[in-house]
Chain A
């Protein structure tokens, strides 16, 4: 009897072992070509660092709308000519006052949404008149700041918008078991300006092995919102219509990416030094034309190799990888950008390809008088023209 069962038992065990074994992913370096270079002249006060860039494409051309960190303004550039054709100035005083600018979204041809600190969304027309405003508050936690930048832009819907609050405000004070108790997406009905929080929570057990940042970037796939944690290689697929998480998927890359988890409060120089030994996901962008995802991953940085203040290095790292994933989050390949050659925070997708900012602070060719973008196309992807 034992002799008859043994081979079967062996095969079952072997089968289980094979199922459990991780299939290794082979690194594929994806070649790309630059199909267009864009250079935009800046005036004497406008900085190259933008809080947000928003590309608007239509049959009549391409418009790039920017909000620089300085001054308080939104600029509209015609990308066919590289010239600015409109500006909207903002102020902390007067009838149309706003707080400290934190981003924007062009909602339609009449309306612009401005995010600012203290947490507020102001509705402006294109003449710079403030039409209305809504304060962003929540019942489960104090909302410290909201933003609409290239990593967590406000998402537009039919009469509604969605914004991300990828934080736990009292991070160190919050017990580990409570990590999943907070909602991280707010929905605003633009008809009555009501704010409703949707049920995107951190996955169960998010802090079971120690605390880690809840920050995420997100992108709109059309049928759902896709979030990617900064320090956890998982994406969440969230349905705003169903108000629920549809799926949580592990992003698998050739290299194993891990992050530091904390059981005790850790701040200051030593914490930053440790964090720099690890990478961080900066942004996820869905390319609806090619039906793929771009994931920007800042690589670890050794502060001893760079003559840049460590806190600056922490937020602005020299090298990043750009991973490409297909619709099902299967790894397609990657490219590496080194020595501040490009900016992983402010890239965006257009019909022609991926627009990558290439005039970045600390790059040896940096020039603060221009905005510069390369439109890049990866080998193996389908481009219409």
Chain B
């Protein structure tokens, strides 16, 4: 009985720590990258997938007419993305982590592809899983 209670307490603590960590990421990124207050979510894109997969993702983002979030791309080259025909027409802001702090500081793993940050949670997605990602945007 005592063991069960301890286990339950540990689980609750674990969950609390986990939730706080995700929340911290969201606020940290908001502050560090000047994400507008109006953005309910930030989609962090680590371009680790193939170029063709990324092009498809960008066209899907464009066609979804998103309005309440922001994109944060981890790349030393912002020009490559800003001149993308789909990204250049988006209504939401596109920000860049050109020094790749998010990976260097260990906030994200180099193998992560997409991370959707909201004030209460963060979720990982693969670049080719648009259906799951879209359900959580806007």
Contact = CB atoms under 8 A, between A and B. Distances in A.
A307 B77 contact: no
A45 interface: yes
A309 B83 contact: no
Contact of B76 (A306, A310, A311, A362): A362
A368 B104 contact: no
Contact-residue bracket for chain A: 20 to 34
A45 B79 contact: yes
Chain A contact residues, majority secondary structure: loop
Given A308-B110, A309-B48, A368 B77 contact: yes
Contacts of A361: 76-77
Contacts of B110: 306-310
Interface residues of B, number: 18
A70 B49 contact: no
Contacts of A47: 77, 79-80, 83
Contact of B47 (A71, A309, A366): A309
B65 interface: no
Contacts of A311: 48-50
A310 B46 CA distance: 12
A220 interface: no
Interface of B: 46-50, 76-80, 82-83, 98, 100, 103-104, 110-111
Interface pairs A-B: 9 shortest CB-CB: A309-B48, A70-B83, A307-B103, A47-B79, A307-B110, A361-B76, A368-B77, A45-B83, A366-B76
17 contacts: A46-B79, A47-B80, A47-B83, A49-B77, A49-B80, A71-B83, A306-B110, A307-B100, A307-B103, A307-B110, A308-B110, A309-B47, A309-B110, A311-B49, A312-B47, A361-B77, A362-B76
Interface of A: 44-49, 69-71, 306-312, 361-362, 366, 368
